[in-house]
Amino acid sequence: MGGHVVPIVVQKEGSREFELNEEALMSVLHRPEVRDTALCVVSIAGAFRKGKSFFMNCLLKYCMNKGSPDWLGEQLQPIGGFVWRAGMERETTGISIWSEPFLFTKSTGEKVAVILMDTQGTFDLETSAQESTFIFALTLLASSVTVYNLMNQIQEDDLMNLQTFSSYGVLAQENSHGTRSFQKLIFLVRDWSHSFEHDFGHEEGKNVLEKVLKVKEEQEPGKQRLRQGLRQSFEELECYLMPHIGTSALRDRNFKGHLEQLAPLFVEHLKLLVPRLLAPENLVVKRSCVTLGMPATADELVELFRTFIKFFNDGKLVQATSMVELISRMASEAARKRALDVYREAMDSISNPDGEDLQAAVLVEHHFASREKALAVYAKENPYAKNCAVFPIADEIREELKSEMEEMIVVTIRTNEEEQKARSSCAAASKKAKKAY
């Protein structure tokens, strides 16, 4: 099976602005084989040089050799896989995806198309902290399963990196539709350094995560809030404690990811973790953040990238409040479009193909009825419209919707009058012509 890496979010040369490779993203998301299939976006985020791309290639290998007990093969770097390297040369911040989605079938028969997404960010350099935060936020919003790649242990800093989003999560909760802002987050601790206390793997990972996220009385209030916020923001939190990759990976200049160059315990755990992560039952479908209870569509994902990148390039900081504004704006815009369609349909239903005269008063009456229908659709379909005090944008866009409908009825009345005039002068002319004849 072929395929290649597709860079979709790249930083412009010599600028801190980002560019979206929209065509490339569409070409992956709009493939015929995944049309009408729910998407599961599996991504990885974390600091540079911590084996993220290396791990994504393991997921890639599993997807490519699905079903084969020997899926790992002899060498971990598939041809054209996500780039991973040993050096320290400068890396760019951005997001890439694999060109081929992979289809999985759940036991219910439901099909899921997995999109693999690799990301680059620094997390540690002051100069590019905003860029990394932005990439991290976009990754979390765009994916349904995010692997948060950490080294040695889970530190307070690692939790703090999630804080911006967790406060966003808490705010967005107030839209009162009861779903959480983000879906599944897996803390993947590489080179786990306390295996005497907690053994490697998933079970002990769970215990470690519980410990780390536990709210204790003696904790500072800030730390307590951070922990509560995190739990409220994600639907599922998991943790996997991974053993060290082996010294050859770090010292050997010729390290190419051959199986015999890796520590056997590391390989053993790859064989446990990867099939578990990609087990069809664990593939969380990417949920729409504009239409309640529906899977996200390809178009919605593209729109999310587009809006988010514009927002960042325009210099609007990615903070909790601005993220909430962004998402509530997207949801409100989507609801406005649907409401306008309903209005148009309702108005079209009284258009008169027979060319009979319609009274302006009749049109106005229909306008009011159609307008009510449209506003009801807006209220029903926009989760943020229920709480305009917290999401003022929902109110603003409702007002825009109203004025659009007002403008439309004015145009309709005018066109109707003009048509009537045209019809009557046409009738008069033909009467005259008949007389003369």
Per CB under 6 A, residues contacting ligand GDP are 48-54, 84-86, 190-191, 245, 249-250, 255
Nearer to ligand GDP, 242 or 278 (CB): 242
Nearer to ligand GDP, 200 or 384 (CB): 200
Selected from 21, 53, 161, 291, the binder of Mg ion by CB under 5 A is 53
Residue 61 interacting partner from Mg ion, ligand GDP, none (CB closer than 5 to 8 Å by kind): none
Residue 71 interacting partner from Mg ion, ligand GDP, none (CB closer than 5 to 8 Å by kind): none
Q: How far apart are CA 98 and CA 117, in angstroms?
A: 7
Give the nearest residue (CB) to Mg ion: 53
Nearer to Mg ion, 52 or 198 (CB): 52
- The SS3 assignment for 244 reads coil
Which region, judged by CB under 5 A, interacts with Mg ion, from 44-52, 147-155, 256-264, 289-297? 44-52
Q: What is the residue type of 286?
A: K
Q: How far apart are CA 396 and CA 378, in angstroms?
A: 12
Q: How far apart are CA 30 and CA 138, in angstroms?
A: 20
Residue 49 interacting partner from ligand GDP, Mg ion, none (CB closer than 5 to 8 Å by kind): ligand GDP
Which region, judged by CB under 5 A, interacts with Mg ion, from 50-58, 181-189, 262-270, 341-349? 50-58
In the complex, minimum distance from the CB of residue 51 to Mg ion, in angstroms, rounded to a whole number? 8
The alpha carbon of residue 178 and the mean position of all alpha carbons in its chain are separated, in whole angstroms, by 18
The owner of tokens 């012509």 is: 433
**CA 132 vs CA 121, 315, 328: distances in Å:** 5, 14, 23
Phi, psi angles (nearest 5°) of residue 206: -60, -45
* DSSP secondary structure string for all residues of 133-188: HHHHHHHHHH-SEEEEEEESS--HHHHHTTHHHHHHHHHHHTT-S---SEEEEEEE
Residue 409 interacting partner from ligand GDP, Mg ion, none (CB closer than 5 to 8 Å by kind): none
**Residues 366 and 350 sit within 8 Å (Cβ to Cβ):** yes
Residue 50 interacting partner from ligand GDP, Mg ion, none (CB closer than 5 to 8 Å by kind): ligand GDP
Q: What is the residue type of 36?
A: D
Phi, psi angles (nearest 5°) of residue 224: -65, -45
Question: Binding string to Mg ion for residues 77 to 116, with x set by CB under 5 A, is what?
Answer: ----------------------------------------
Q: How many CA atoms lie within 13 A of 240 on its CB side?
A: 20
Give the nearest residue (CB) to ligand GDP: 51
Nearer to Mg ion, 93 or 233 (CB): 93
Nearer to Mg ion, 37 or 53 (CB): 53
Residue 426 interacting partner from ligand GDP, Mg ion, none (CB closer than 5 to 8 Å by kind): none
Nearer to ligand GDP, 172 or 189 (CB): 189
Residue 39 interacting partner from Mg ion, ligand GDP, none (CB closer than 5 to 8 Å by kind): none
In the chain, the N- to C-terminal Cα span, in Å, equals 79
| Helices 221-233, 202-213: inter-axial angle, 10-degree rounding | 130
The continuous run of DSSP H or E covering 329 comes out as helix 320-348
Q: How far apart are CA 249 and CA 238, in angstroms?
A: 27
Nearer to ligand GDP, 227 or 244 (CB): 244
Binding site for Mg ion (CB under 5 A): 52-53
